[in-house]
Amino acid sequence: MTKNITKELIKFTFLVALLTTPLLSVNSQTTKKSVPVFKDGEAQIVPAFKDSEQWIRHDLWVETEFDTDGDGKLDRMHVAVTRPKQTETEGLKLPIVYVSSPYFAGVAPDLPGSFWDVRHELGEAAKERIHPEVTRTGKRPIISNSHIRTWVPRGYIVVHSSSPGTGLSQGAPTIGGDNESLAPKAVIDWLCGRIPGYTSPDGKEEVKAFWSTGKVGMTGTSYNGTIPLAAATTGVEGLEAIIPIAPNTSYYHYYRSNGLVRSPGGYLGEDIDVLYDFVHSGDESKRAYNNATVRDQELKNGMDRITGDYNDFWAGRDYLNEMEPMKAALLMSHGFNDWNVMPEHSYRIYKAAKDKGLDCQIYYHQYGHGGPPPMKMRNRWFTRYLHGVENGVENDARAWIVREDDKMQNPTPYKEYPNPDASDVTLYLSAGNPTKGGLGTEKTKSKGKEKLIDDFSISGRELAQAETSKHRLLYVTPSFTEDVHISGTAKVSINLSSSKEAANLSVWLVSLPWNTEGKVKITDNIITRGWADPQNHKSIREGEPLEKGKFYQVTFDLMPDDQIIKKGQQIGLMIFSSDKEFTLHPDPGAELTIDLASTTLVLPIVGGIKAFNNAVKGN
């Protein structure tokens, strides 16, 4: 009897198990947790993360280690978080894409007189400018929506913060000062659980980033691209990768050039104090203190618009000097025709990162300001360094360059930038003023002296297209019978004298003949440019008045470039004085005399002198 009952019980138990097993399997599938998905080394859009109505969004403040608004309390940065609901409901931890900016709460109006007047003699002070203020409307509890729809569906949390003295962040903007590096560092420290965050600007109720894996990547364009580099130079743990796009890596190189006071393209008369006014959108009650201590003291005393010399103030706002602690993998992006934040900004940092042995790549295109790498590149970069997926991105080509007729999404890979096959070719000048002189490899033709007369009212484009002009000197190669590929940094060494104790010196490298068909060309015939103060011929830290009639050797780099000059074109070296778009505008009339025998142009050409000679063969 007992045995029969036992047998029946075993059968019943087996039958129940058999019937319920498929049900349990189905049930386990319906309760499967959502996780990031990867294919071909890239994070994929996950349907469960895509519904924006289910995203969790909240604000908080992170305390820093500085007090820049003088209230005796450590400044707190305003932070906004957007994350998939699964980070709350399923305990999912995800890496962070972090964007910081001084622009999120608006900027000051561009009023007449808010930029410095550039119409004055060199070495003289300009008249005082006005100081517009930012009028911030509302409290903007959600800082920004940028990057959210790109990264949250792919399994990331997106974090934004307003930089010091902007929006609801406390403190003062310092335009490249230490606090603008330490502020994002503090946010990353919070994301990694090392310091507390708070629910309010002044309260004590804490917020924890329990949903963070402690892996952070940063990106952004222009000023927003500068901040990732600023954070990386602190060496903060947890910042694994950065993708700066057209970043300003040195405020001296943005507002000065080889001892010369120079404006960024399109913003004639802007300087570091103008940018301070432009972004200072923080607490109105703190602005008077911030203006007095930062703008009217620190910036005014350090910027030196009189001489344009490099000094300790500018050195402290040059991130190249702060690279030693940096550990983050670097994917740099820039346009070769960015005359606002010029391409040297990215190259100098990329080169330093490469020399440090960091994982780094550079993406260049042929357009102007901005322009991120293709999504595939960015996705692979963050997938590798934030999710830890071994996709081999660190073994990809170092340099990616969008060729002249290609789309931004279709860059050509190269082993390195500059092109490893490029070598320097020295070109010499032969007389031809006031039309065109020669530019070639034969030094014996470099004889005599030629003069130009400064006149700021004539644009560089007008000068380059003029058949004759007494306001510039133009030296051209023969027409090319083959394409010539320039890759790297061109350099000029000009032997000159001046009729005045101070003069601007401007150099353009152009492709001729000029396009006059009205079509918009990517390169607009300008290959690269450069500017210098002859008074700083020995050092950019200290200039000296020029003696009339005395010759000085002025040597400096032009902006880095990678461009293919098509057959049928010529390369032209144009030397002139004041550049209407970029330099101060002194009274016309200064004479510059160029000694051709001691003046050279060095071009980095793929294939070197052999390629150059082949391209001019038959002329």
Cα–Cα distance measured from residue 452 to residue 455, given in angstroms and rounded to the nearest whole number: 9
Q: Which of 541, 536, 544, 543 is nearest to 311 (CA)?
A: 541
Tell me, yes or no, if 338 is annotated catalytic.
Answer: yes
Start-to-end CA span in the chain (Å): 115
Cα–Cα distance measured from residue 148 to residue 156, given in angstroms and rounded to the nearest whole number: 9
Cα–Cα distance measured from residue 358 to residue 355, given in angstroms and rounded to the nearest whole number: 8
Q: Which residues of 22-47 are buried (b: 16+ CB within 10 A; e: fewer)?
A: eeeeeeeeeeeebebebeeebbbebe
Q: What is the 3-state secondary structure (H, E, C) of 30-54?
A: HCCCCCCCEECCEECCCHHHHCHHH
Q: What is the 3-state secondary structure (H, E, C) of 193-252?
A: CCCCEECCCCCCCEECCCCEEEEEEEEEECHHHHHHHHHHCCCCCCEEEEEEECCCCEHH
Q: Which of 317, 320, 349, 355 is nearest to 333 (CA)?
A: 349
Residue type, 128: E
Cα–Cα distance measured from residue 452 to residue 413, given in angstroms and rounded to the nearest whole number: 42
Using DSSP, state whether 348 is helix, strand or coil.
helix
Q: Which of 145, 151, 166, 153 is nearest to 80 (CA)?
A: 145
Using DSSP, state whether 257 is helix, strand or coil.
strand
Instruction: Spot the catalytic one: 101, 222, 257, 506.
Output: 222
Q: In the block, which residue shows the tokens 């029969």?
A: 4
Residue type, 564: I
Cα–Cα distance measured from residue 304 to residue 399, given in angstroms and rounded to the nearest whole number: 37
Q: What is the 3-state secondary structure (H, E, C) of 82-99?
A: EECCHHHHCCCCEEEEEE
Residue type, 496: L
List Cα–Cα distances, 399 to 352, 359, 386, in angstroms.
15, 12, 22
Chain mean position to CA 573: 27
Tell me, yes or no, if 369 is annotated catalytic.
Answer: yes
Residues linked to residue 488 through DSSP beta bridges, in sequence order = 561
**CB distance 287 to 133 below 8 Å:** yes
Using DSSP, state whether 4 is helix, strand or coil.
helix
DSSP state at residue 391: -
Q: What is the 3-state secondary structure (H, E, C) of 284-306?
A: HHHHHHHHHHHHHHHHHHHHCCC
**CB distance 400 to 373 below 8 Å:** yes
> Which token pair is 150?
């790109």
Instruction: Spot the catalytic one: 69, 271, 338, 579.
Output: 338
List Cα–Cα distances, 425 to 81, 489, 490, 493, in angstroms.
53, 12, 9, 13
Q: Which of 603, 602, 258, 591 is nearest to 449 (CA)?
A: 591
Cα–Cα distance measured from residue 221 to residue 246, given in angstroms and rounded to the nearest whole number: 6
Cα–Cα distance measured from residue 585 to residue 7, given in angstroms and rounded to the nearest whole number: 105
Instruction: Spot the catalytic one: 160, 365, 369, 537.
Output: 369
Catalytic residues: 222, 338, 369
